[in-house]
Amino acid sequence: MNDATSWRELFVATDPPGLAVLAHAAEVAVGSLHQPTPGPRSPLTPAQLRAGVRELEVCPSEGVALDQVLGELGGSVWAHGVRPLDVACVAHLHPPSVVSAVVSELTIASTNQSMDSWDQAPVATEVELHLMDFLAARLGFPSSASGVMTSGGTASNLLGLTLARSLTASRIGVDVLKTGLPPEAHAWRFLASDQAHFSIQRAAAQLGLGRDAVVTIATDDKGAMDLTDLDATLVRLDTEGLRPIVIVATAGTTDLGAIDPVADVARRARAVGAWFHVDAAVAGAFVMSDSLCARLDGIAAADSVTVDFHKLWWQPFNASALVVRDAERFDLLRVPSNYLDRGDELEGMVNLVGRSLDTSRRFDAAKVVASLRTIGQRTFATMLEHLVELTQYAAAAIDANPAFDLVAPVSAVTCVFDAPGHTSEDLRRVQQDLLADGSMVLGRTRIKGRAALKFTFMNPLATNADVDELLAIIKGRLTR
Ligand SMILES: Cc1ncc(COP(=O)(O)O)c(C=O)c1O
* 302-340 per-position pLDDT tens digit: 999 999 999 999 999 999 999 999 999 999 998 888 888
Closest CA to 252 of 372, 418, 388, 396: 388
Ligand 1 site, residue 199, Cβ cutoff 6 A: yes
CATH 1.20.1650 fits 11-81, yes or no: yes
Q: From residue 218, how far is each of 199, 206, 227, 232, 243 by CA, in Å? A: 18, 24, 9, 11, 19
CA 62 to chain centre: 39
Percentage of the chain beyond pLDDT 70 is: 100
Cα 456 to middle of ligand 1, angstroms: 13
Q: Report the alpha-carbon distance of residue 280 to residue 83 in Å, rounded.
A: 25
Ligand 1 mutation pick, 308, 411, 416, max ligand atoms within 8 A of CB: 308
pLDDT at 132: 98
Residue 2 has pLDDT above 80, yes or no: no
List, for residues 184-198, the tens digit of each pLDDT value: 999 999 999 999 999
Please state the rounded mean pLDDT for residues 293-297: 98
Burial of 392 (C-beta count, 10 Å sphere; 0-12/13-18/19+) = middle
pLDDT at 336: 80
CATH 3.90.1150.10 fits 107-369, yes or no: no
Residue 454 has pLDDT above 80, yes or no: yes
- Band the pLDDT of 220: cuts 50, 70, 90: very high
Ligand 1 mutation pick, 282, 304, 314, 315, max ligand atoms within 8 A of CB: 282
Residue 6 has pLDDT above 70, yes or no: yes
Percentage of the chain beyond pLDDT 90 is: 94
Which of 307-325 are b and which e, b meaning 16 or more Cβ less than 10 Å from the residue's Cβ? Answer: bbbbbbbbbbebbbbbbbb
Q: Which atom of ligand 1 is found nearest the CA of 157? A: 4
Ligand 1 mutation pick, 92, 151, 154, max ligand atoms within 8 A of CB: 154
pLDDT at 58: 96
- Band the pLDDT of 117: cuts 50, 70, 90: very high
pLDDT at 480: 82
Q: How many CB atoms lie within 10 A of CB 238?
A: 12
Q: Residue 137 phi/psi, 5° resolution? A: -65, -40
Please state the rounded mean pLDDT for residues 396-404: 97
Q: Residue 79 phi/psi, 5° resolution? A: -65, -20
Please state the rounded mean pLDDT for residues 127-147: 98
Cα 196 to middle of ligand 1, angstroms: 10
Residue 345 has pLDDT above 90, yes or no: no
Closest CA to 374 of 462, 319, 457, 314: 314
List, for residues 433-453, the tens digit of each pLDDT value: 999 999 999 999 999 899 999
Cα 197 to middle of ligand 1, angstroms: 6
pLDDT at 35: 87
Residue 26 has pLDDT above 80, yes or no: yes
Residue 22 has pLDDT above 60, yes or no: yes
- Band the pLDDT of 36: cuts 50, 70, 90: confident
Residue 353 has pLDDT above 70, yes or no: yes
Residue 147 has pLDDT above 60, yes or no: yes
The contacts of residue 383 (CB under 8 Å, 6+ apart) are 314, 375, 460
Residue 1 has pLDDT above 60, yes or no: no
Please give the order of strands across the beta sheet that includes 146-150: 146-150, 320-324, 304-308, 275-280, 243-250, 188-193, 214-217
Q: Report the alpha-carbon distance of residue 99 to residue 93 in Å, rounded.
A: 19
List, for residues 38-68, the tens digit of each pLDDT value: 899 999 999 999 999 999 999 999 999 999 9
| CATH class held by domain 376-478 | alpha beta
Cα 450 to middle of ligand 1, angstroms: 22
pLDDT at 333: 92
Cα 464 to middle of ligand 1, angstroms: 27
Closest CA to 70 of 38, 27, 35: 27
- Band the pLDDT of 397: cuts 50, 70, 90: very high
Ligand 1 site, residue 93, Cβ cutoff 6 A: yes
Q: What is the pTM of this model?
A: 0.97
Report domain extents, the chain: 11-81, 107-369, 376-478
